[in-house]
Amino acid sequence: MLISTINRTLRSYFIAIVGGEMVFRALPLGTHRWAQFVRPNELGKLAGACGLRTVEQRGMAYLPVIHRVWWTRGMAVNYIASYMKSAATAV
């Protein structure tokens, strides 16, 4: 399973909500709700409770001026995580 989401950090608040919605107007106001952003460790716990194990997590960066996206080590704003069935629950 692949999940792409936004981390719940102050940095993500300023970049996604203040920058993306209020400054650049790339998205309509109210698109994001910071309280609903998910930290990587929270997502890992939820996946584990469903019998999944984390395979990989990577950060993503976006430069709106040139519409460019690339992988980063930092997951402070956007990240993608992959999960697969744990060996104990495999059928």
Mean pLDDT of 8-29: 94
Break the chain into its structural domains and give their ranges: 2-86
**Residue 66 backbone phi and psi in degrees, to 5:** -115, 10
Global pTM reads 0.84
**Residue 32's pLDDT band (boundaries 50, 70, 90)?**
very high
- DSSP of 42-75, one letter per residue? HHHHHHHHTTEEEEEEEEEEEETTTTEEEEES--
Could you give the 3-state DSSP secondary structure of residue 82? strand
| CA dist list (Å): 89 to 3, 38, 42, 48, 50 | 20, 25, 21, 11, 10
Look over the chain and give the mean of its residue pLDDT values, rounded to a whole number.
93
Percent of the chain with pLDDT over 70: 96
Asked whether the beta carbons of 21 and 28 are under 8 A apart, the reply is: yes
